[in-house]
Amino acid sequence: MRCGMIRRPGQVFVLLLLLLGCDRNLEVTRPTDDVLLEPNVEFEPGFVPAVEKCQWFDDKTAAYTVSFDDAKVTHYQVSGPILKQRNICGTFFINTREIVDWSGWQQLADMGHEIGSHSYSHPKMTELTEAQQRAELERAIADIRTHLRGSPPVYSFCYPYGLFNDELRRVVMDYHITARGGGAVNPIDMSDYDLSLAHGTGVYPPFDMAMIAGWVDKAIAKKAWVNVYFHSVSAKGDSNDTTIPVRYFNEHLDYVEQVRDKLWIATQGQVAHYIRLRREAKISVEVIDQTGFKVALYNLPDRIPEMTRLTVRMKMPLDWRNQKIILRKQDTKGYQLLKSEDDTACFNIGKTDILYIEAKKSLAQ
Ligand SMILES: [Zn+2]
């Protein structure tokens, strides 16, 4: 089972959407009611539900990424198995010149982790000519795409030594959709947020785990995105400037799991794709004969993977709370019940999804 696929009650419909897959160019027409005995709720003429994009996927309060630098063997020997146990996916930034055996990195990719670039040889990129910078970036991407099964795209980059300048940021974004630096929790306002400098908070001696938990708390308080990054994690418990004993790593992840309900745990690339989709995509809501709505996305940014979903909140009429809200895709016979809380429906929609939403009078009343 890949990360993020645990079935929890509130996520059932999300999972089903993933399983249904996507059909392009679907034309939605009013579904027939031969299966459902209950009548449709008729909305007031002229009513169009208000829709808004949620800050984070699944309407979580904050986004959390765990990432790993420098292509250490402990990443797949120690950190990978721990993350798998906890059903957490992260991003591994690898400087590919170091790698002789790719099998461990393939295992991490197979578990659903993102393999990002940390350049080819981990130089001080700001001291290179532009041609040299491009050679570093292109070589690392070529290595990853050549050695990993399926030649996965390399969406994310991490600046070696945390060094960058405006020119380098521009060059990096010719190849990637996001790059991680150091320093802080990301700002809340995503409207003009520059993904060429996503912040990360590094874990260094003396491994003050309460402080690191505080970064997560800060992200939750600000509804922001925190990326916590590690270098080597030692199973033996030894430590140095970049090696953390495994018990501290576990302590951090224990805290993350404690507040997991509030967090969207995702890779650097997944969060960046969501931010781009949230920023640029537009939502069309079309009323169909007063009893249902057709919902789709348009004006999509490039390079958005098929699996990326935008979470949308739709305000329904007030009497909705005693209804069953049905969400379905025209190409399937089945339907999905959305959580029926208050007068607001939240759902996730992919770039090729066309959803149909309607309300049925509940038989339970
Ligand atoms: Zn590094």
Model confidence over 236-253: pLDDT tens digits? 988 988 899 999 999 999
For residue 137, the CA-to-ligand 1 centroid distance in Å is 14
89 φ, ψ (degrees, to nearest 5)? -110, 140
For residue 203, the CA-to-ligand 1 centroid distance in Å is 13
For the residues 216-242, what does the mean pLDDT come to?
Answer: 92
Residue 330 has a pLDDT of 59
For residue 334, the CA-to-ligand 1 centroid distance in Å is 49
Higher pLDDT, 320 or 116: 116
- Strand residue runs (E) in the chain: 50-53, 62-68, 91-94, 114-117, 156-158, 178-180, 201-202, 225-230, 232-234, 243-245, 263-265, 282-288, 292-298, 309-315, 323-329, 336-337, 344-350, 354-361
CA-CA distance, 194 to 208, in Å (whole number)? 29
For residue 71, the CA-to-ligand 1 centroid distance in Å is 8
For residue 223, the CA-to-ligand 1 centroid distance in Å is 28
CA-CA distance, 353 to 22, in Å (whole number)? 6
The C-alpha torsion from 100 through 103 and 104 to 108, rounded to 10°, is 130
CA-CA distance, 156 to 178, in Å (whole number)? 5
Lowest mean per-residue pLDDT among 55-59, 149-153, 280-284, 348-352: 348-352
Peptide linkage before 206 cis (omega within 30 of 0): yes
For the residues 116-135, what does the mean pLDDT come to?
Answer: 98
For residue 216, the CA-to-ligand 1 centroid distance in Å is 22
Residue 118 near residue 70, CB atoms below 8 Å: yes
pTM: 0.86
CA-CA distance, 147 to 206, in Å (whole number)? 36
Residue 117 amino acid letter: S
For residue 294, the CA-to-ligand 1 centroid distance in Å is 47
Residue 52 near residue 59, CB atoms below 8 Å: no
pLDDT at 361 over 50: yes
For residue 247, the CA-to-ligand 1 centroid distance in Å is 22
For residue 118, the CA-to-ligand 1 centroid distance in Å is 7
pLDDT single digits (tens) 269-279: 999 999 999 99
For residue 237, the CA-to-ligand 1 centroid distance in Å is 21
For residue 230, the CA-to-ligand 1 centroid distance in Å is 10
For residue 69, the CA-to-ligand 1 centroid distance in Å is 5
For residue 156, the CA-to-ligand 1 centroid distance in Å is 14
Residue 166 amino acid letter: D
For residue 52, the CA-to-ligand 1 centroid distance in Å is 39
For residue 218, the CA-to-ligand 1 centroid distance in Å is 25
For residue 96, the CA-to-ligand 1 centroid distance in Å is 11
For residue 141, the CA-to-ligand 1 centroid distance in Å is 16
pLDDT at 7 over 70: no
Give 203-208 contacts, CB < 8 A, sequence gap 24+.
203/228, 203/229, 203/230, 203/244, 203/248, 203/252, 204/241, 204/242, 205/239, 205/240, 205/241, 207/239, 207/244, 207/245, 207/248
For the residues 138-150, what does the mean pLDDT come to?
Answer: 98
For residue 192, the CA-to-ligand 1 centroid distance in Å is 27
Which CATH topology does 62-273 take?
TIM Barrel (3.20.20)
For residue 300, the CA-to-ligand 1 centroid distance in Å is 33
Per-domain residue ranges of the chain: 9-47+290-361, 62-273
Of 243, 236, 245, 239, the C-alpha closest to 72 is: 243
Residue 332 has a pLDDT of 52
For residue 162, the CA-to-ligand 1 centroid distance in Å is 8
For residue 169, the CA-to-ligand 1 centroid distance in Å is 17
Output the DSSP codes for 80-117: HHHHHHTT---EEEE-GGG-S--HHHHHHHHTT-EEEE
Residue 243 near residue 231, CB atoms below 8 Å: yes
User: Which residues 6+ apart lie within 8 Å of 248 measured at CB?
Assistant: 203, 207, 209
Residue 350 near residue 17, CB atoms below 8 Å: yes
For residue 241, the CA-to-ligand 1 centroid distance in Å is 12
Which two structure tokens, joined as six digits, stand for 95? Answer: 């400087």
Residue 28 has a pLDDT of 45
pLDDT single digits (tens) 81-102: 999 999 999 999 999 998 999 9
For residue 292, the CA-to-ligand 1 centroid distance in Å is 52
